[in-house]
Amino acid sequence: MNGDWLLRGRDGRLSVYFLSGDAVLCRAERWPDGPWDPPRRMGGDQRLHPVLGLGQGGDRYAHLVAWRPTVQGESGLVHSTHFRPLLAALDWMPVGHPNKKGERTGTPAVAVDAEGRAHVFVRNKGGGVSMLAQQHKGGWSPWWDLKGREVHEDGLAAVTAESGRVELYAAVRGGVQHWRQQEPGARLVMGDRTPAEPRPGSLYALATSAGSTTLFYTDAVGDLCAWRPGDKPVTVLGAAGPGPVAAVRCVLDGHDCTVLAQRSASGRVAFAAYPTEAESAGAWWTESGPPLAPDARVGLTTDGAGRLIAATSSPATGRLLLTRRKDEPGLALEAWREVGLTAE
């Protein structure tokens, strides 16, 4: 999976998305902080490959992109929009293939601009990046080749800046490449590249100020790094474990902070926080919750009041656990509550 799988809808209800066999499932709260309804299949009965890209816009609508088999030895990308946690998502609609036809080329990434238009990115057969975007009057743009080379198959992170424009980061051989949108709805243009050795699947991008987005990744020596184009990457702290990192901005004790979470080497969830864009202030990990299965992922979001919410999801074991920040100083969390990915 690529993108945030723990989302808060515009009505305040949480929903989680996960892969199950040849389907994408969603489980959602019946009301904010209430009981959870049984999981629902997204987008109809089409059979999908087990890969998913997720993005959410300012309207809180979720956009999902997956690969589906078409003819023997070939696949195509499909898109669905999920407007409300307890409503059915739109049926999967084909959006094509970056090389017109062929097999899967990589894990897609999705970002949604200020106008609510989804932007889809995927590695193409030549090893670069291709994109297409929803148009104002409906439909999609043609596939645009953003160039690039030797992009990792699972190496994309898309993000919407505070300006509402879309940016993309890609792990490439020997570095990380950045693209930026100069006009709303336009194709992205290639920007800075920095030398780096990010671990596969470890990129996560976050809007961190009016003028910047920040990329987080785990490097080859096991450090968790942050990079803002125009500057050099900096080490935030040693990675807690091998899994992907999640990040979110929230207010802690009156300060704009970035909270990081990662499955630790011990199997528990590790949290760290520091003033946003002030990596030099230092950060350290604090572990929480029970040991988790190796496939467990960590997700972060905030509720309507800006309070931190964390969740872990393990499709292999069917475990879904949640916690929220207590109403007290620091990053104190409530006891983890098991919800489960399937109905009780």
User: In the β-sheet with 319-324, what is the strand arrangement from edge to edge?
Assistant: 297-302, 308-314, 319-324, 337-338
All residues at 6 or more sequence positions from 242 whose CB lies less than 8 Å from its CB, including other chains = 199, 218, 263, 265
Residues in the chain: 344
The reported pLDDT for the residue numbered 344 is 54
Where the chain has pLDDT below 70, the residues are 343-344
Q: Note the pLDDT tens digit of each residue in 181-214.
A: 998 888 999 999 999 999 989 999 999 999 999 9
- Report the C-alpha gap between 338 and 321 in whole angstroms: 4
Distance, first Cα to last Cα, the chain: 25
3-state secondary structure of 287: strand
pLDDT of residue 184: 87
Neighbour-count burial of 125, counting CB atoms closer than 10 A to its CB (0-12 exposed, 13-18 middle, 19+ buried)? middle
**pLDDT for the residue 343:** 64
- Tell me phi and psi for residue 281, to 5 degrees: -70, -20
DSSP string, 90-116: PPPEEEE-TTSS-S--S--EEEE-TTS
**Among residues 264, 274, 287, which one has the least CA distance to residue 236?**
274
- Annotate 195-231 with three-state secondary structure: ECCECCCCCEEEECCCCCEEEEEEECCCEEEEECCCC
| Domain boundaries 108-239, corresponding CATH code | 2.120.10.70
pLDDT at 136: 84
- Residue type present at position 228: R
The per-residue pLDDT for range 1-59, each reduced to its tens digit, is 999 999 999 999 999 999 999 999 999 999 999 999 999 999 999 999 999 999 999 99
Q: Say what the pLDDT of residue 144 is.
A: 96
The pLDDT assigned to 137 comes to: 81
Helices and strands counted in the chain (H then E): 0, 28
Q: Is the CB of residue 162 less than 8 Å from the CB of residue 151?
A: no
